[in-house]
Amino acid sequence: MVVLSSHPILYAGEDKWSVDPRVSLEVLSRGEFTIRIEDVDMYDEGQYVCAVQTRSRPRTTSVHVIVQVPPKITNVTKDMRVNEGSSIALMCSGSGRPEPSITWRILSPSARGIVSQEEYLEIPAVTRQQAGIYECSAVNEVSADVRTLQLVVNFPPSMSKGKDVGVPLGQRGVLQCEAEAEPAAEFEWYKDDRRIVSSLNGIEIENVSKFSRLTIFNVSEENYGNYTCVATNTLGSANTSIIVFGEYGIYALHN
């Protein structure tokens, strides 16, 4: 019995010719043999032939070994920060046998289905709504490999209209504004074009996330009037006005 492959002879009878320690011969019976290869790699792929010399003529049988390799993502775009309106391309490539298929999904802020089945995910004129966590997966018959990246989209502040506040004399008044922005906005408050400083004249300003809150602890006549909340980041600014009025109502402020 001789075992051949696309490589040199492995065994002649029970004599090992191969120097590869991963290869061994198992004798199942007098006329039945098995070749075992440990830790198979790509180089083991190919045609293997078992030749047996009989009295009449030699007989052979062969098997073709195809080595499958789990997919591995070899290159993927790193976390990215871009300005709104930019055109971008996210890239993900992988290797494996069979060749893996590439799929892009969006995981957050809300999970969506497949957004692309190409190595490149092109996003023309990216918007703030397209920011989030993106997942690339490489899949073949063996298994899957997955990577994620975060896309951050910068945009200037935008603010909702402020809500006017009616407060009796001597009571506490709370003014609040909200700004959507990336990077997060910094807030400033003004009354009649004069900037307000926190912790002075019974006024406190607290900024938390996308909100800014101005509290007047003991409202007096001089606290009535027009307040402006300004939100600023590196891309721009926005503002909204809030009127604080007393017992005479908001319309008295305009007369």
- The per-residue pLDDT for range 104-162, each reduced to its tens digit, is 999 988 777 788 999 999 999 999 999 999 999 999 999 999 999 999 999 999 999 99
| pLDDT band, very low/low/confident/very high, at 238 (cuts 50, 70, 90) | very high
DSSP state of 121: E
More confident residue, 246 or 53: 246
Residue 253 has pLDDT above 60, yes or no: no
More confident residue, 155 or 42: 155
- CA 131, CA 121: separation in Å to the nearest integer? 14
- The per-residue pLDDT for range 156-196, each reduced to its tens digit, is 999 999 999 999 999 999 999 999 999 999 999 999 889 99
| pLDDT band, very low/low/confident/very high, at 250 (cuts 50, 70, 90) | very low
Mean pLDDT of 209-229: 96
55 is written with which tokens? 């009295």
| Per-residue pLDDT at 172 | 95
| Per-residue pLDDT at 110 | 79
In sequence order, what are the residues at sequence separation of 6 or more whose Cβ sits closer than 8 angstroms to the Cβ of residue 154?
81, 82, 83, 84, 182, 183, 234, 235
Mean pLDDT over each residue of the chain, to the nearest integer: 89
Assessment of whether the complete model's pTM goes beyond 0.85: no
7 is written with which tokens? 């490589």
126 is written with which tokens? 């990216």
> What is the DSSP pairing of strand 69-76 with strand 225-233?
unpaired
Produce one character per residue of 24-34: b if its CB has 16 or more CB atoms within 10 Å, e if not.
Answer: ebeeeeeeebe
